[in-house]
Amino acid sequence: MAARSIASLTVSFGLVSIPVKLFSATEASKAISFNLLHKACGSRLKQQYLCVKEEIPVAREEMVKGYEFAKDQYVTFSPEELKAMEEAGTATADITEFVPLESVDPVYFDKAYYLAPDKGGAKPYALLTKALAESGRCALGRWAARGKQYIIMIRPVEKGLVMQQLLYADEVRPIEEIEIPDTEVKPQELKLAQQLIEAQASDAFDPAAYKDQVRERIQTAIDKKVEGQEITFTEAAQASAQVIDLMEALRASLEKKSVPPSKAKAAAEKAATRKPPKRAVAEAAPAKKRAKA
């Protein structure tokens, strides 16, 4: 089924304007969700809000939004006040600068969208795509939607452009907040670790090689339940924490030489289409002649 556009947008840089269509790049619907039911009769439950002071249900029309500025102290805002503070949605993504693609840490990545040229935008879209790809840079800018203002990054991919929402600096915790002790790495350990990396290296990331095994397990259980079957689970063995010798662990890992999922998939496909060796064919021919004799 063809993807459906969720919005129209104009990407502008300098005096160039590119009309584009916006498509969601991810599918949240793939996740399996469960509803809360009444155990006694199986009916679905609905959410109810209770006043913690009076312990009574509160209807939605009696609710207001408030901000807690101190313990149990709030300032309230009316819907009109909240609406007035929202960012007015724009149909334009304004590019402000171009930076090296590798200079944007993926930790800042948020929701992603695909961009496709809209009517009259094919030429400038192709131009921006090729210019970004050849320069090794991405475009940074701003976009307002749903009452909020977003930082966006537009980057080239194989067949087009991706618009990535980015987190603001104060939304990303600095790694300096995490305590990481300075630890010496021995040259022998580093060499073995690099050999292990090379033994399990692949030329590219193949997302199709990885499956959500938990989702598949849940879906299988759901299917069995729907068919009226009983399901049983075996308790997984708990891995006990143990202190191991790092060098021995690296050597053992190298001996095992685990094959990455992408390589395993490629090897299986190659084996399925592989022709029988010539030697085996040659040996089979005399056997047929002897059988005729």
Domain ranges across the chain: 7-26+86-171, 185-203+254-286
pLDDT score of 279 more than 90: no
Q: Worst-scoring range by mean pLDDT, 108-122, 184-198, 255-269, 275-289?
A: 275-289
Q: Is the pTM of this model over 0.85?
A: no
Domain boundaries 7-26+86-171, CATH class = mainly beta
**pLDDT recorded at residue 140:** 97
- Report residue 255: phi and psi, to 5°: -65, -35
| 269 Cβ contact list (under 8 Å, min separation 6) | none
Contact by Cβ (8 Å): 142, 149? yes
CA–CA gap between residue 11 and residue 21 (Å, rounded): 10
User: Nearest CA to 13 among 137, 122, 104, 141?
Assistant: 141
145's tokens: 């939607």
What residue type is assigned to position 69 of the chain? F
- Report residue 3: phi and psi, to 5°: -70, 150
Cite the beta strand spans of 53-145 per DSSP E. Answer: 65-70, 73-77, 92-100, 109-117, 137-145
Cite the beta strand spans of the chain per DSSP E. Answer: 7-13, 16-24, 65-70, 73-77, 92-100, 109-117, 137-145, 148-157, 160-166
**pLDDT recorded at residue 274:** 55
CA–CA gap between residue 207 and residue 110 (Å, rounded): 18
**pLDDT recorded at residue 4:** 86
**pLDDT recorded at residue 88:** 66
Instruction: Give the mean model confidence (pLDDT) for residues 122-138.
Output: 95
**pLDDT recorded at residue 220:** 87
Mean pLDDT computed over every residue of the chain: 83
pLDDT score of 291 more than 60: no
Share of the chain above pLDDT 90, in %: 45
Name the β-bridge partners of 139.
Answer: 98, 154
**pLDDT recorded at residue 131:** 94
pLDDT digits (tens, 9 = 90+) for 19-68: 999 999 987 767 788 999 999 999 999 888 999 989 999 998 999 999 99
**Residue corresponding to tokens 């490629």:** 266
